[in-house]
Structure 1
């Protein structure tokens, strides 16, 4: 597992997730087995002892590592290939209404700067929300934006990286197809213009949404602030991405939504990003 993880070509965030799973679950439970002892039955028993989310991560890690072992000629077949994960009920995708978006933004705006002492809280949080809702970008992609990625004249943003949880920037987004240049909605463009006009901007270098120290913000820190700011509203940053996907699909089809969001395939878009309409459109003319 250690040899596999060292050469596995994924983002640092994903590598950290896999490392945690290896250290906490795989190595303590089946790490002492020889490869010829790692049967499909043993892997299946191990996966069934884990929670659904952990089992999914463990299966992905084990499957990829054993695939490497097959390519190296160490084992004849991949014992993970024929294992099955427990079926879990998929949470219904939620697309936000204009009213919900407005309520969320108002809650964030009210919370920002609402503290009576200390440094003003929530700096640039409203602008980050406006970019999220006007672009459908992942929050890590928004936080990784540099001024060179913004084209104010043409109204486009180039998605060319993501942030890690240590305040660093990866020079590539989540997947190869996530790297893209997209037109963004006026609210996102206006938020970026507001950010450009802030008095500290000339001293902070290339980062669009820097910390007070001029470093990249992390997703956990920004998500934590958004959670405090939204209060009782059951709305999350990723809901904006799903909302954008659903609205594009309704007008232009699933392929357009998939390409705009930078998904590797339309399957990802269909399974996890499109909300079902309460009433299906009238297609009866095609009967």
Structure 2
């Protein structure tokens, strides 16, 4: 064996160290290139031992650096994310990105994935579990990083290690022996805001009093009328084309939504969100008026082929966040409590319940994936119906 040219040097602090420059590790069978590196140590023996370790690892990996190209947990996580993006909708992709940035990467990102142990993962899961179990103390929202869904965060870590396993970067998945604690998570008590029938009547009376022939006024007359009549999500409304409105049958077809504020995704939130909704005569009348008003507007602009039902004034997809200021002004002038666009979806659900529609029909109208979700969200929005039922009971049980 050739004598190694290990040289002594001093650090800035004056400490003696040793270095072997350009140490030969082996020849990469994939590229044909010689793999060389600088090796440092506190002693000459330490340098020699590190050289042997690197050579053994190189042989163990099939005489190639290909398997070691992804070394840190973050590098493997980003590789997993690139694959994930090919298989998911934009909303799911954005949620995964948020989970990675706020939970997974801060916990393990800079660590070598091959060195992360079951004990380290177990410790992190326990930490997330304790955070999720912490009392809210009256708060309605948890701060980012408190891991309410701590089981989901562990699931993501597990999937990343499975990805590393499939790439041959690690030999075993350390997540397999981790015990996920079962903790009680306090649910935030949020006030569900919606308008009653009398409040909606007040709102639409105000809208009708606004000056006609102005883009903004006509826009909101049609938009709010449709939201209340259909229970559409605001993103679904922004993605509607006129071909989705069947004036003769009085229906609205929902098959897409907006994501990232102004991109139209050609599939809605879930499979159940694909639906056809019947709407009332008044809503159809208002939409027809808006259709003709809009056509005249875009003909003046030289763009008569605008297909969106609720576009920007110059055409193109509307970012509904830009409508919130105007919505708040309308509500204030109508002397009503502030309500978000989603509040009109809840108002629709309340109207349906008090009109004695079944939960199954309401589920289909709202596009919920499960019937139980509809019942859990909206069973408390039927005060009028409960009063009627109490009257019926009182009359029947009059003994």
Contact 2:194 2:346 in 1 (8 A): yes
Asked if residue 240 in structure 1 is aligned to residue 344 in structure 2, the reply is yes
Q: Once the 2 structures are TM-superposed, how far is the Cα of residue 177 of structure 1 from its aligned partner?
A: 0.6
Q: What aligned pairs does 1:31-46 form with structure 2 within 5 A after superposition?
A: 31-32=109-110, 34=116, 36=118, 37-39=120-122, 40-45=125-130
Asked if residue 253 in structure 1 is aligned to residue 358 in structure 2, the reply is yes
Separation (CA, whole Å) in 1 of partners of 2:350 and 2:177: 38
Change (3 A) 1:256 1:223: same
2:186 to 67, 73, 87: 87
Q: Once the 2 structures are TM-superposed, how far is the Cα of residue 214 of structure 1 from its aligned partner?
A: 1.5
Change (3 A) 1:246 1:148: same
Asked if residue 173 in structure 1 is aligned to residue 173 in structure 2, the reply is no
Greater relative contact order structure (CA < 8 Å, 6+ sep): 1
Contact 2:103 2:153 in 1 (8 A): no
Give the CA RMSD over aligned residues. Answer: 3.6
Separation (CA, whole Å) in 1 of partners of 2:155 and 2:283: 39
Change (3 A) 1:71 1:120: same
2:320 to 211, 214, 219: 219
Match of 1:268 in 2: 373
Change (3 A) 1:274 1:242: farther
Separation (CA, whole Å) in 2 of partners of 1:262 and 1:44: 33
Q: Which has the larger Rg?
A: 2
Change (3 A) 1:43 1:158: same
Contact 2:193 2:343 in 1 (8 A): yes
Helix, strand or coil at the partner of 2:277: strand
Separation (CA, whole Å) in 2 of partners of 1:97 and 1:142: 22
Match of 1:100 in 2: 199
- Deviation track 1:114-144 (CA, whole Å, cap 9, x = no partner) reads xxxxx96556122111110111111111111
Match of 2:284 in 1: 189
Contact 1:249 1:256 in 2 (8 A): no
- Structure 2 unpaired stretches of 5+: 1-76, 166-172
1:68 to 159, 164, 167: 159
TM-score for both structures, normalised by structure 2: 0.60
| Greater mean alpha carbon deviation, residues 203-212 or residues 55-64 | 55-64
Contact 2:227 2:348 in 1 (8 A): no
Change (3 A) 1:183 1:112: same
Contact 1:35 1:75 in 2 (8 A): yes
Contact 1:122 1:225 in 2 (8 A): no
| Greater mean alpha carbon deviation, residues 240-249 or residues 17-26 | 17-26
Contact 1:131 1:187 in 2 (8 A): no
Separation (CA, whole Å) in 1 of partners of 2:218 and 2:88: 31
